[in-house]
Amino acid sequence: MVERESPPMDQIFHALSDATRRAMLRDLAGGERTIGELAAPHAMTLAAASKHIKVLEKAGLIDRQVQWRTHTCRLNAAPLAAAQQELAFYERFWTDRLDTLERLLREDDAKPNTGDTE
């Protein structure tokens, strides 16, 4: 079996599927935060925040450092870049499809109207 260095895409998208975890990542984009600081805006217990942190950590989106009883988290943006690359395929797919639709509609509009007129 081949070992992968980065977490599978499924774990990254699972972590990003929750609004609270996405908000935590946005907070971490501003710099390191403790779990308490990450929990504060969401009116949740430290235990609930810790569960969210574990999901983000498992996906490789954050690094956690423990000093005594203080857990400090730092954003790891590399998996976000990988997720962006995955989504870029679909962006190109839909852009191509919409461009084709636009071209067909313009061609249809340019055709003379051959409908019955009385």
Q: What is the pLDDT of residues 62-100, one digit of tens each?
A: 999 998 888 999 999 988 888 888 888 888 888 888 888
Record the tokens describing residue 115, joined without a space: 């409908």
According to CATH, the topology of domain 9-77 is Arc Repressor Mutant, subunit A (1.10.10)
For residue 117, what pLDDT is reported? 56
> Tokens 């490789």 — which residue?
60
pTM of the prediction? 0.71
State pLDDT tens for residues 15-48: 999 999 999 999 999 999 999 999 999 989 999 9
Residue 67's nearest CA partner among 34, 27, 25 is 34
- Domain ranges across the chain: 9-77
Do residues 62 and 53 make contact, with C-beta atoms less than 8 angstroms apart? Answer: yes
Kindly report the backbone phi and psi dihedral angles of residue 84, in degrees, each rounded to the nearest multiple of 5, phi listed first: -60, -40
